[in-house]
Amino acid sequence: MDDSIDQLNAAHQENVFRILESAERLFRHFGYSKTNVADIARDLGMSPANIYRFFASKAEIHQAICGRLLDASYQQAAEICRLPVSAVERLRRYLHAQYQLTVEVMLDDQKVHEMVVIAMERDWHVIDMHIDRLHALFADVIREGIEAGEFPEQDVDIASRCFGAATVTLCHPQMVAQCLSKANRATPEQLIEFAIKALKN
């Protein structure tokens, strides 16, 4: 019985994976708004009804894809936050890497940018979950920085949220796009050092 259940679960996960892979490929190529469930089904050689066995709507597929994109961003952040360097250097490296990821992935590929912008506009829970996970990472790094004498004693949860808010223009695709070519905006390097200096005071 257990083997049968495991096989059913494996088959379910395989179908979910195939649907998400197809949908992301089509969203990237044609754009989210120009791709529908019938297109995904056709690409996979199945009926739309079969897609709906796994996802209730195109929006639900989109949420799952955004979750995967954000998870990749989180994994990058987690790896940087575990590096054997100072807390200051980890925060600095995280922000540089996140800014680079936003420019290269979210902006260079306009179809991906469209997916992320739609997700943010609809205020989906996957975005809030991602932000909460990042804040938890920041809090851990700041706590370690306090213990090492890099930062003064402070509420790490408040500090992590303020640090995230102060540097959001380096991570939010729409804000990065708006600030990218503006001569009257702080550069990423200036903003990063300003945010780190705030933690030290």
CATH number of the domain encompassing residue 105: 1.10.357.10
- Quick one: 21 and 71 in the same domain? no
- Quick one: 95 and 40 in the same domain? no
- Does 8 have pLDDT greater than 90? no
pLDDT in tens, 24-41: 999 888 888 899 999 999
- Quick one: 74 and 140 in the same domain? yes
- Is-contact 123 177, C-beta < 8 A? no
Note the pTM of the prediction, 2 decimals.
0.81
- Quick one: 103 and 124 in the same domain? yes
Structural domains counted in the chain:
2
- Quick one: 122 and 193 in the same domain? yes
- Quick one: 91 and 175 in the same domain? yes
Residue 149 lies in domain: 58-200
- Does 114 have pLDDT greater than 90? no
Mean pLDDT for all residues in the chain: 87
- Quick one: 94 and 164 in the same domain? yes
End-of-domain residue from the set 55, 83, 98: 55
Rounded to whole angstroms, how far apart are CA atoms 88 and 135?
Answer: 15
- Quick one: 124 and 192 in the same domain? yes
Residue 95: band (very low, low, confident or very high) from pLDDT cuts 50, 70, 90: very high
